[in-house]
Structure 1
Amino acid sequence: MQQRHIGKVLLGAWFVVLLSSCSPFSKLQKSGTDDEKYKGAIQYYKKSDWYRAGLLFEELIPVLKGSTESEMAQFYYAYTQYHQQQYLLSATLFKKFYETFARSDYAQEAMYMYAFSLYKDTPAFNLDQSNTLTATSALQDFVNAYPESQYKEECTRMILELRKKLERKAYEKAKLYYKTSGFNIASYKSSVIAIENFQKEFPDSEYNEELAFLKVDAEFSLAQNSLETKQKERYQEAMNYHQLFVDKYPTSRFLKQSEKMYETSQKELDRLTKEEQAREKGKLKTPDANRPAKVTAAN
């Protein structure tokens, strides 16, 4: 019984192969002239049969080199790959087209499709954003090259969308440093640096209020966990960050938390100043430069 079933499956597979080998497309591929293949490729393209059209154009491009059909074969071939969601390949093909046929009526469209293909291939914000940077650059290059193009508004929209993706990635990176700071004091420093970099790159971001507060918190925590000889400087820095935060966000929901850290920093500064004065008078020993105020992994 099982052998009969296997036999039927093999017979069916053989029948499919036989039909395929006898199909018009197969015959065209095997025995058609270049002219017949080109016309067939155009027909498949118009029917949105991107796979068959792509196979024929790919085969024809080397043969058609130098002919009048060569330009359109390469242009259509790029589109067949785009429609099959082979975005990196289509980007490569569209770029090659506008570089090869710079004076073509389709050069502008090809340059746009190069950038658009890269845009379609950009990953989610939580992944590596190298492709996003490349796509953003390509879109901006297109706008610069064709400022009056019909695609200008769409390119501008995509650039803003990709910048939002980069912004979210940078925000999450800064927050990650902050979240891991409790395990390694070096992360407090990294968190402050990442937040400052974010503020410079995205000055109008909706995340800046939260990050400005987290910078106060990170610097305050850094001061608490630092070597005693470095605490004064870092508490003062936390107070400076607080003042900047209050000046820019006077009604922030984080205001009370920031004010508490400011008050604590002021008290700690007063304490450290008094201890310095006492040491100068010889009433206290000089603190051990290697002794942190709290248990920490770094200084």
Structure 2
Amino acid sequence: MFKRQSVVFFSVLIAVFAIVASCKSKFEKIKGSNDYTKKYQEAVRLYNRKEYSKALELFDDVAQRYRGREDAVDLFYYYAYTNYRLRDYTSARYQFKNFADTYQNSPRAEECRFMAAYCYYLDSPNYTLDQDNTSRAIDALQLFINLYPKSDRVAEASKLIADLRNKLEEKAFANANLHLTILDYQAAVITFNNALRDYPDTKYAEEMEYLIIKSQYLYAKNSSEFKQEERYNAAITFADQFTEKYPASKYLKDAANYKKDSERGIQQNKLALIEINADMAKARKAAQKDSLQRTALPSIKQSSQKIPAN
């Protein structure tokens, strides 16, 4: 009984392997053939079955043969989406853009132009990394809006641009904050101001303007005595502007404290400069006195001469 069951089991197993082998051999047979029409049809069938990797192999073989032909429109449309389904967004955006550029009069040109930009969006990394693809995605989406201002996809494109710009704002804020963290206060002031110039409507505006006050104060405090007053005054100006602009800010008290500390710093700096100038005056007087004394002393040669006899 057990022996019969084993025979049946192995027979079924062999049959399954045979079916799998025949399916594989069928794909390999089509892939190795010169019948490009059949290859294309099989690629579409595999795409519809969501077997994208196999479909891509066949589309790769067929693409060069169909390039420039009138009946190639559907092929390159499928080709772009196959790369997209495989999450190869770099290849997909190239294929979508190529389709939109090549078949500008196609009803699918608008869709492919949008998808090319969308692939850039999907390739945009975390804000902590290089944002080159983020900027390119914004440019591509804006180009789509300019080319198809009445498209139903304009609203989505605008939303994606807003999302990408927010990522750039986060990057700019993080970069400026890093300068403050590593105690490079002058660079912090500059980068916070640059970020506000580039993104005037950023959600971080209030916090960044407060951090400009903080950075400027610390920059002044850690400067030489001869430059402190000017830099403290800049901190006071930033604090006054902040208070006027954000009268209900949660940073208002801290901004006022930095202003008071800056005013106190100016007074202390003036006293310090008086002492420094006094010390310098003493040093100059001492140097002059020493110089006079050196001039008045006889030379070694003169002091060694014998006194003449009377």
TM exceeding 0.5: yes
1:115 matched residue in structure 2: 117
Offset at 1:210? 1.5
1:76 to 78, 100, 117: 78
Q: Which has the larger radius of gyration?
A: 2
Distance 1:33 1:192, change over 3 A: same
Which runs of structure 2 are paired with 1:97-176 in the superposition (5 Å)?
Answer: 97-176=99-178
- Residue type of the alignment partner of 1:101: Y
Q: Which of the two has greater helix per residue? A: 2
How many residues get paired?
A: 268
Distance, in Å, in 2 between the alignment partners of 1:232 and 1:258 is 18
Amino acid at match of 1:267: R
Say which of 224, 232, 235 aligns to 1:238: 235
**Which of residues 170, 194, 198 in structure 2 aligns to 1:197?**
194
C-alpha distance 253-22 of structure 1, shift in aligned 2 (>3 A): closer
Given that residues 112 and 142 in structure 1 are in contact (C-alpha distance below 8 angstroms), is that contact kept between their aligned partners in structure 2? yes
Structure 2 CA distance, aligned partners of 1:287 and 1:222? 30
Q: CA deviation at 1:283?
A: 5.2
Which residue number corresponds to residue 258 of structure 1?
A: 255
Q: Aligned partner of 1:285: which letter?
A: M
Change (3 A) 1:287 1:270: farther
Report the more deviating stretch, 237-246 or 103-112.
103-112
Shift of 1:22: 4.6
Is 1:215 paired with 2:217?
Answer: no
Whether the 8 Å CA contact 1:229–1:287 is kept in 2: the answer is: no
Tell me how far apart the structure 1 counterparts of residues 203 and 152 of structure 2 sit (CA, whole Å).
31
Letter of the 1:157 partner, please give it: K
Q: CA 1:209 to 1:32, structure 2 compared with 1: closer, same or farther past 3 Å?
A: same
Q: C-alpha separation between the residues in 2 aligned to 1:59 and 1:100?
A: 20
TM-score by length of 2: 0.79
Are 2:222 and 1:225 equivalent residues in the alignment? yes
- Whether 1:285 aligns to 2:280 is yes
CA distance in 1, matches of 2:80, 2:205: 42
Q: Distance in 1 between matches of 2:201 and 2:268?
A: 38
Distance 1:268 1:45 in 2: 72
Distance 1:286 1:252, change over 3 A: farther
Structure 1 residue 133: Cα displacement: 0.5
- What is the alpha-carbon distance in structure 2 between the residues aligned to residue 270 and residue 175 of structure 1? 29
Counterpart-to-counterpart distance in 2, 1:259 and 1:211: 16
Q: Does 1:44 align with 2:46?
A: yes
**In 1, are the aligned partners of 2:225 and 2:273 still within 8 Å (CA)?**
no
2:94 alignment partner in structure 1: 92
> What is the Cα deviation at residue 124 of structure 1?
1.0
For residues 48 and 147 of structure 1, what CA distance do their matches in structure 2 show?
34
CA distance in 1, matches of 2:47, 2:282: 80
- TM-superposed CA distance for 1:240, in Å, is 0.4
Give me the whole-angstrom Cα distance separating, in 2, the residues matched to 1:19 and 1:246.
Answer: 77
Post-superposition Cα deviations, 1:99-126, rounded to whole Å, max 9, x if no partner, equal 2222222211111110011111111111
Whether the 8 Å CA contact 1:177–1:190 is kept in 2: the answer is yes
Amino acid at match of 2:97: K
In 2, are the aligned partners of 1:95 and 1:114 still within 8 Å (CA)? yes
Instruction: Give, in angstroms, the shift of residue 237 of structure 1.
Output: 0.3
Residue identity (%): 32
Shift of 1:284: 5.9
| More relative contact order, 1 or 2 (CA 8 Å, 6+ apart) | 1
How far apart are 1:268 and its partner, in Å? 2.6
Contact 1:21 1:27 in 2 (8 A): no
Shift of 1:95: 1.2
- Cα drift, residue 32 of structure 1: 5.8
Q: How many Å apart are 1:196 and its aligned residue?
A: 0.4
How far apart are residue 259 of structure 1 and its match? 1.4
Report the aligned-residue RMSD. Answer: 2.5
Q: TM-score, normalised by structure 1?
A: 0.82
